[in-house]
């Protein structure tokens, strides 16, 4: 891990918050292993899989054994279950092997190795963290809290994934990052339960309402598996299948259902070695800016929810992650008018039965949205518009609201001249969050002379902090290349706010 680790040293700046002398830099050693198909990564696609396999088949068994031994010597310690991964990649390409050819186990494994490559998940940048209580508090001393920190990791091709690290807060204003070493693992796809109301919302957004779509919706249970979905499609009446809109409707039904999925990690893989990697075409160019929050379930148990932006290189889409333990994750699409732009941030609990979220659906105004009974996020009520010199381009949130005795604390960001970002704060009424009751007039944090330099200059940005032992903790990205940490006594922050008439 590349980091500056001196938790006793602090850096006091002219900003309201205390910057801690602890930074996380991108670490090129953090790699995952991915499928590699020669030719398919070029601008002009020319799959070269068959010719590569033909050349591998010309090798004798001694050369195959020597090459495989060399690969394992070089890479085995860098990955979980390297042999299993090579076997999986061979299975994906085995149809390229002539049917009359019998392959030895070593040959199969070596072919899998040729169709694999390492990807440095954060070689380009590390930024936009959020912070939640860690599911494992083993060994934590009195006055301390172990936290899980989500990370936006950016690698080759500007592809973003979601990773994690952990830290221990307290006592007081102490912070200590925990070990981030070890091989990484991408989550494995598992069976997902799909939601009928989200399918209906997706069809409505695609302006599809015909007898075939209505029949499918009426035939599905409230939640359904992929097998149940395909069974319904396989038993549609012939009269409906013959209609001119059938092809378009079936394609959209499958596309919407495929948007939602689930991934899981083995219990033996610690949180800091887990990577949420793009798993659908809609997020093929990145999973951006995850805003994690610990939520209270109806049964009283706590779990984790997060929103993030799926990006395919052209379009963006809102997504939600749900997990009880940061090991098994359910991914669903966010639907409705308020979910059509970046920056959705969930409240940690319902407010008088209302499920609420912050959003920026118009691209420049921070608003409040409510989820209706059809699982659609409704048009936002404006909370904060650009109105000061340092935020005239746009305003938004820096993570989910934090509940305090005085109101909902919302960290905001504003963009000013030269696209310079700064972080501010405001307070919402506990019972009626559509009402702003106080605001921080001059901002909480802005890029200093070191933080302003980087991949995206002049930016400080966070996806969420938390309160521990009377202190508000804020991890933040600096110029999309490194992560810093700031904190402030909660009472001090609340006293600095100015009531809004």
pLDDT tens-digit profile of 309-353? 999 999 999 999 999 999 999 999 999 999 988 899 999 999 999
Query: For position 488, what pLDDT does the model report?
Result: 96
Longest dimension (CA), the chain: 82
39-57 per-position pLDDT tens digit? 776 555 667 889 999 999 9
Q: What percent of the chain has pLDDT over 90?
A: 87
Average pLDDT over the chain reads 93
Nearest to 416 by CA among 398, 395, 436, 389: 389
228-261 per-position pLDDT tens digit? 999 999 999 999 999 999 999 999 999 999 999 9
Residue 6 reports pLDDT greater than 50: no
Spell out the long-range contacts of 52-61 with Cβ–Cβ below 8 A and sequence spacing 24 or more.
Answer: 52/114, 52/115, 53/93, 53/96, 53/97, 53/111, 56/107, 56/110, 56/111, 56/114, 57/97, 57/101, 57/107, 59/107, 59/110, 61/104, 61/106, 61/107
Query: For position 491, what pLDDT does the model report?
Result: 96
Query: What ranges do the domains of the chain cover?
Result: 3-29+121-189+261-499, 32-116, 193-259
415 — pLDDT class (breaks 50, 70, 90): very high
191-224 per-position pLDDT tens digit? 899 999 999 999 999 899 999 999 999 999 999 9
157-190 per-position pLDDT tens digit? 999 999 999 999 999 999 999 999 999 999 999 9
CA 198 – CA 201 distance, rounded (Å):
5
Query: For position 3, what pLDDT does the model report?
Result: 44
Domain 3-29+121-189+261-499 has CATH 2.115.10.20: yes
Burial of 208 (0-12, 13-18, 19+ CB in 10 A): middle
CA 341 – CA 353 distance, rounded (Å):
25
Residue 428 reports pLDDT greater than 90: yes
DSSP secondary structure code for residue 443 in this structure: -
Which comes out higher in pLDDT, residue 286 or 3?
286
Q: Which residue has the tokens 């939520």?
A: 295
Query: For position 46, what pLDDT does the model report?
Result: 64
Residue 94 reports pLDDT greater than 50: yes
Q: What percent of the chain has pLDDT over 70?
A: 96
301 — pLDDT class (breaks 50, 70, 90): confident
Task: Say which residues have a Cβ less than 8 Å from residue 300's Cβ, sequence separation at least 6.
Answer: none
């Amino acid at each position: 891990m590349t980091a500056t680790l001196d938790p006793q040293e602090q850096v006091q700046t002219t900003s309201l918050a205390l910057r801690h002398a602890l930074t996380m830099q991108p670490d090129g050693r953090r790699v995952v292993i991915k499928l590699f198909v020669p030719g398919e990564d070029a601008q002009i696609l020319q799959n070269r899989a068959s010719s590569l396999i033909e050349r591998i088949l010309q090798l004798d068994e001694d050369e195959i054994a020597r090459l495989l031994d060399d690969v394992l010597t070089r890479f085995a310690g860098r990955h979980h279950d390297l042999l299993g991964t090579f076997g999986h990649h061979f299975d994906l390409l085995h149809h390229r092997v002539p049917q009359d050819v019998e392959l030895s186990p070593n040959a199969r494994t070596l072919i899998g190795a040729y169709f694999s490559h390492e990807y440095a998940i954060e070689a380009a940048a590390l930024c936009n963290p959020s912070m939640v209580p860690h599911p494992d508090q083993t060994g934590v001393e009195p006055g301390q809290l172990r936290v899980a920190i989500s990370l936006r990791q950016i690698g080759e091709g500007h592809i973003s994934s979601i990773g994690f690290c952990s830290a221990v807060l307290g006592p007081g204003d102490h912070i200590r990052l925990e070990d981030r070493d070890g091989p990484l693992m991408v989550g494995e796809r598992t069976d997902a339960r799909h939601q009928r109301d989200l399918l209906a919302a997706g069809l409505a957004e695609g302006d599809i309402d015909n007898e075939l779509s209505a029949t499918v919706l009426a035939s599905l249970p409230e939640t359904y598996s992929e097998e149940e979905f395909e069974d319904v499609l396989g038993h549609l009446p012939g009269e409906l299948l013959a209609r001119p809109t059938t092809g378009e409707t079936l394609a959209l039904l499958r596309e919407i259902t495929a948007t939602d999925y689930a991934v899981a990690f083995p219990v033996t893989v610690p949180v800091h070695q887990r990577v949420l990697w793009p798993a659908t075409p809609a997020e093929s160019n990145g999973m951006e800016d995850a805003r994690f929050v610990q939520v209270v379930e109806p049964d009283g148990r706590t779990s984790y929810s997060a929103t993030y932006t799926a990006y395919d290189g052209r379009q963006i889409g809102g997504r939600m992650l749900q997990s009880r333990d940061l090991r098994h994750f359910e991914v669903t699409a966010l639907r409705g008018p308020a979910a059509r732009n970046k920056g959705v941030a969930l409240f940690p609990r319902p407010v008088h039965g209302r499920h609420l979220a912050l959003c920026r659906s118009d691209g420049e105004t921070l608003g409040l949205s409510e989820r209706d009974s059809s699982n659609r996020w409704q048009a936002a009520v404006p909370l904060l518009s650009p109105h000061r010199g340092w935020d005239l381009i746009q305003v938004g949130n820096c993570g989910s609201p934090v509940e305090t005795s005085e109101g909902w604390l919302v960290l905001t960001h504003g963009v000013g001249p030269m696209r310079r970002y700064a972080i501010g704060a405001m307070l919402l009424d506990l019972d009626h969050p559509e009402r702003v009751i106080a605001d921080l007039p001059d901002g909480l944090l802005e890029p200093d002379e070191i933080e302003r330099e980087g991949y995206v200059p002049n930016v400080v940005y966070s996806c969420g902090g938390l309160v521990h032992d009377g202190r508000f903790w804020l991890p933040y990205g600096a110029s999309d290349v490194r992560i810093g940490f700031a904190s402030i006594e909660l009472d001090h922050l609340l006293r600095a706010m100015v009531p809004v008439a």
